[in-house]
Amino acid sequence: MEPLPPSQDERTMATLANALQIIGGWIAPLVIFLTNRKSRFVSFHALQALLLQILHVAAFLIFFVIFFVVMFSAIFLHVAEGKAQAQPPFAIFLVFPFLWLFLIATNITIIVAAVLYSIKAGRGEWAEYPVLGRWARRILKIGPGGTNLA
Record the pTM.
0.84
Q: How many of the other CB atoms lie within 10 Å of CB of 95?
A: 18
Are the CB atoms for 130 and 35 separated by under 8 Å? no
Mean pLDDT across 117-128: 94
Per domain, the residue ranges of the chain are: 8-146
Q: Does residue 76 surpass a pLDDT of 70?
A: yes
Report which of 68, 63, 48 is spatially closest to residue 105, judged by C-alpha positions.
63
Q: How many of the other CB atoms lie within 10 Å of CB of 142?
A: 19
**Quick one: pLDDT at residue 55?**
94
Are the CB atoms for 6 and 41 separated by under 8 Å? yes
